[in-house]
Amino acid sequence: MVSILIDDIIPILVIMLLGYLCGKFYYFDNDQRQGLNKLVLNIALPAALFISIVKATRSMFAQDIVLTLISVIGVVGLFMLSFFLDKLFFHRSTQQAAVCALIAGSPTIGFLGFAVLDPIYGNTVTTNLVIGIVSIVVNAITIPLGLALINRGQDATKKKAQTTNTPGTKVNVEQVTGKGRHKETKKVMVTIPDGVPVTDAEAKALEEKGLDREIDLARAEIANHANTNHKPMNSTLKSVLSAIKQPVAAAPLLAVIFVLIGIHIPSSWAPTFDLIAKANAGVAVLAAGLALATVKFSVDKEVIWNTFFRLFLTPAIIVAAAYICGMGTDPEKISMLCLATGLPPAFSGIIISSRYNIYVKEGASSVAVSTVVFAASCIFWIWLLPILAHIF
């Protein structure tokens, strides 16, 4: 326990503190901070995930089918549990609860997965497979699901405002009718209710009238958008496709496909991927510290609940499910899965929160407090898991 604390946990905290100080003293500006995030999420992490997963075999996937099912069902199920409990306990709207789920219900596997698991369990195929599976679930399922729930909540808010005579602003909005040669653009007088999401056409009309209103990009692809004439894509499908296009989701998915169909990457290619992949852990932890430096946070009941849900309740349920499903013969794999799903909140959640101006204060506070408390929760699980393995 002492060696794990000194050799693995303390270095992570020191580098994160370094990043925090760099952020507080403006050593990196906003563009440079975003550049580090892009380096991790779009280059280093995808390379690390790809080269680690393609080393696996179909037999390993078959042997780890229980782990895969627990990861998918567990992470998605707990994401939805966070969503519903936030609505129930704290009376949040659909869009607020969706952002809460993106934070409390999703681990920051991209930033801290390799940094935490590799030093403790080694850079093995199994370790990387656990990180890869959880990364796919978070980036290709829970994030699109969260965005779809935000869209749904915004649509409901707007419809409710329109049917309850909510005060608003009258503007002329461009609408496109007809097709082909019969297509024409005309302006229609509409009332935009106050305090609800707007389309980009409505935002443009408000801007022309000299009124400021943030454009809601999540609903930008609509029939009256910029002289185009098409039906909007299903929000859930669009979010899923958008997520899969991101390197952090596409790389592990492609690697899984290669393994399943039997395509082997020549070993001579590995150093090319490994060289950039090695930058992932250190830069990711530094970037996490930089992100925390931009957050002003406070502690209340909801923040405490989100922290408990993310760091203790989620891994506890995952561990219980693993033992119930017969994974007790491989306690190290359970330990990997526990720490992978018990990481601090996904930083993508706070980015989405800021983008839509939804649940910003609570979300930022939950991320900051959870990241600090993770130092204790990580040690707690490393201490408890061997005891559970001995008992079961």
| pLDDT tens by residue, 81-101 | 999 999 999 999 999 999 999
176-218: per-residue pLDDT in tens? 666 656 667 777 666 666 555 555 565 566 556 555 444 443 3
Mean pLDDT of 121-150: 81
| Banded pLDDT at 323 (limits 50, 70, 90) | very high
Phi, psi of 22 (to 5 degrees): -60, -35
DSSP 137-157: HIIIIIHHHHHHHHHHHHHHH
110-130: per-residue pLDDT in tens? 667 877 888 888 877 788 788
- Sign of the Cα torsion 377, 2, 390, 133 reads positive
- Cα–Cα distance measured from residue 204 to residue 71, given in angstroms and rounded to the nearest whole number: 43
Picking from 378, 353, 374, 340, the residue whose alpha carbon sits closest to that of residue 295 is: 353
- Cα–Cα distance measured from residue 368 to residue 362, given in angstroms and rounded to the nearest whole number: 10
Contacts of 237 (CB under 8 A, 6+ apart): none
- Cα–Cα distance measured from residue 280 to residue 200, given in angstroms and rounded to the nearest whole number: 37
- Cα–Cα distance measured from residue 351 to residue 247, given in angstroms and rounded to the nearest whole number: 17
Mean of all residue pLDDT scores within the chain: 77
Q: In the chain, what percentage of residues exceed pLDDT 70?
A: 72
- Cα–Cα distance measured from residue 93 to residue 349, given in angstroms and rounded to the nearest whole number: 16
295-308: per-residue pLDDT in tens? 677 889 999 999 99
- Cα–Cα distance measured from residue 323 to residue 23, given in angstroms and rounded to the nearest whole number: 42
Strands, E assignment, the chain:
168-177, 184-193
Which residue in the block uniquely carries the two structure tokens 């909540």? 153
Which pLDDT value is given to residue 89? Answer: 94
Whole-prediction pTM value?
0.70
Give all domains of the chain, ordered by start, each with its CATH number.
2-156+236-391 (1.20.1530), 158-234 (no CATH)
Mean pLDDT of 46-72: 78
Report yes or no: 290 and 17 within 8 Å, Cβ to Cβ.
no
Paired tokens of 305: 């609940």
Mean pLDDT of 253-280: 77
The vertex-106 CA angle with 90 and 34, nearest 5°, equals 110
- Sign of the Cα torsion 247, 253, 256, 261 reads negative
| Banded pLDDT at 271 (limits 50, 70, 90) | confident
- Cα–Cα distance measured from residue 297 to residue 376, given in angstroms and rounded to the nearest whole number: 19
Which pLDDT value is given to residue 90? Answer: 94
